[in-house]
């Protein structure tokens, strides 16, 4: 807890430098602007609102729940041409095709997931699972991810996420596929199933848990208050969750995200995403080495205005953090599960 050391991340096959004493140093660097508290519930100029006109001229329906539509500026398109043959092994290119969708969680712009009801969060989970199954019928990888807050690149203040389906396995997917496959081969049990059992027993990095799920600050966490959301049962894909697991997922997500917001009493920014077994052609293969999980990567370190920057040593050598995962977990665990905005009311 007081001295620097390195920790191994078996999921990524890399290391993180833990330098807990550095959190005591004075900060004279950049201060971020806190997110606005006066977001209007409906704004005709916000392209994610019901009835608003998007950049391509399409008008959103007056939706009342979740709403999915094709990304107007997709990073992947289904009909991209082949890049052509390479004339040298150092200059390789490959085809990259896919589709990109946007999913609004709720019609109101002034809400975020921790402020939504359990039924509304459950509807989001069901929509995630439906999209994962629909796009996964043909695409090898379906990445569901949420960038929350302007600090994480979110350009529209509205509760939403993105879903990108690709004709290839992205880098992180290929890496996790390899490490989980190796672990099952060597130890006879899926890595993250074994890890969840260990963390449930040890408790020191546990943030919240229920009968089907647990959220921990992983032993190898890189970001200050990074968490890993894990099912207790062996589940390969989001669409494989049964009714009870989806209900309890809505509950544990709400509890975790309320704690995030309560940490600095601000709408907590993060990037999160689901990782599960590949789909498309992989649906016919044995993917039992995979365990479904969600990563949460929040940047805030000391306050609502001081963030962790991945620069210098992190970019040129290896990841480094300024407080131990155990310290981060204890702080999150001790926070109330009533949102600070609701408590004020």
Q: 37-80+94-339: which CATH topology?
A: HIT family, subunit A (3.30.428)
Catalytic residue among 5, 88, 106, 160: 160
The yes-or-no answer on residue 160 being catalytic is yes
Give the pLDDT score at 221.
Answer: 97
Cα–Cα distances (Å) from 73 to 53, 54, 55, 228, 337, in that order, read 15, 11, 9, 30, 37
Percent of the chain past pLDDT 70, that is, above it, reads 96
Written in H, E and C, the secondary structure of the chain is CCCCEEEEECCCCEEEEECHHHHHCCCCCCCCCCCCCCCCCCCCCCCCCCCCECCCCCECCCCCCCEEEECCCCCCCCCCCCCCCCCCCCCCCCCCCEEEEEEECCCCCCCCHHHCCHHHHHHHHHHHHHHHHHHHCCCCEEEEEEEECHHHCCCCCCCEEEEEEECCCCHHHHHHHHHHHHHHHHHCCCHHHHHHHHHHHHCCCEEEECCCEEEECCCCCCCCCCEEEEECCCCCCHHHCCHHHHHHHHHHHHHHHHHHHHHHCCCCCEEEEEECCCCHHHHHCCCCCCCCEEEEECCEEEECCEECCCCCHHHHCCEEECCCHHHHHHHHHCCCCCCHHHHHC
Compute the Cα dihedral for 261, 293, 252, 142 and give only its sign: positive
Residue boundaries of the structural domains of the chain? 37-80+94-339
Give the pLDDT score at 302.
Answer: 81
Would you write out the chain's pLDDT as a tens digit for each of its 345 residues? 778 999 999 999 999 999 987 665 555 566 666 777 788 999 999 999 999 999 899 999 999 999 999 999 999 999 999 998 999 999 999 999 999 999 999 999 999 999 999 999 999 999 999 999 999 999 999 999 999 988 787 878 899 999 999 999 999 999 999 999 999 999 999 999 999 999 999 999 999 999 999 999 999 999 999 999 999 999 999 999 999 999 999 999 999 999 999 999 999 999 999 999 999 999 999 999 999 999 999 998 888 878 888 899 999 999 999 899 999 999 999 999 999 998 865
Binding-site residue positions for UDP-alpha-D-glucose: 22-25, 55, 71-72, 147, 153-155, 162, 308-309, 313-314, 320
Predicted structure pTM score: 0.95
Q: Taking Cα atoms as reference points, which of 13, 7, 11, 15 lies closest to residue 319? A: 15
Binding-site residue positions: 22-25, 55, 71-72, 147, 153-155, 162, 176, 275, 293, 295, 308-309, 313-314, 320
Per-residue pLDDT reduced to its tens digit, 1-24:
778 999 999 999 999 999 987 665
Per-residue pLDDT reduced to its tens digit, 160-217:
999 999 999 999 999 999 999 999 999 999 999 999 999 999 999 999 999 999 999 9
Binding-site residue positions for Fe cation: 176, 275, 293, 295
């Amino acid at each position: 807890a007081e001295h620097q050391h390195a920790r191994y991340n078996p999921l990524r096959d890399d290391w993180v430098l833990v330098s807990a004493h550095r959190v005591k140093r004075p900060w004279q660097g950049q201060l971020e602007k806190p997110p606005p508290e006066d977001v209007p519930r409906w704004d005709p100029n916000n392209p994610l609102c019901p009835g608003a006109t998007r950049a391509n001229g399409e008008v959103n329906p007056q939706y009342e729940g979740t709403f999915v539509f094709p990304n107007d500026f997709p990073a992947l398109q289904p009909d991209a041409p082949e890049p052509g043959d390479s004339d040298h092994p150092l200059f390789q290119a490959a085809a990259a095709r896919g589709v990109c969708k946007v999913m609004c969680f709720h019609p109101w712009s002034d809400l975020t997931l921790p402020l939504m009801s359990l039924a509304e969060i459950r509807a989001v989970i069901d929509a995630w699972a439906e999209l994962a199954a629909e796009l996964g019928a043909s695409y090898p990888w379906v990445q569901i991810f949420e960038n929350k807050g302007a600090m994480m690149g979110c350009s529209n203040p509205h509760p939403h996420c993105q879903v990108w389906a690709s004709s290839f396995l992205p880098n992180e997917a290929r890496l996790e596929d390899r490490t989980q496959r190796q672990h099952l081969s060597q130890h006879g049990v899926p890595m993250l199933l074994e890890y969840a059992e260990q963390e449930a027993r040890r408790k020191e990095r546990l943030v919240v848990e229920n009968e089907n799920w647990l959220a921990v600050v992983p032993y190898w966490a890189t970001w200050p208050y990074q968490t890993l959301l894990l099912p207790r049962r062996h589940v390969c894909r989001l669409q494989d969750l049964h009714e009870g697991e989806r209900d309890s997922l809505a509950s544990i997500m709400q509890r975790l995200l309320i704690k995030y917001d309560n940490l600095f009493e601000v709408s907590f920014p993060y990037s999160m995403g689901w990782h599960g077994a590949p789909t498309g052609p992989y649906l016919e293969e044995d993917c039992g080495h995979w365990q479904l999980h969600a990563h949460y990567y929040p940047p805030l370190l000391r306050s609502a205005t001081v963030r962790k920057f991945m620069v210098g040593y992190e970019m040129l050598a290896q990841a480094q953090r300024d407080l131990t995962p155990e310290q981060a977990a204890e702080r999150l665990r001790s926070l109330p599960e009533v949102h600070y905005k609701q408590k004020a009311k």
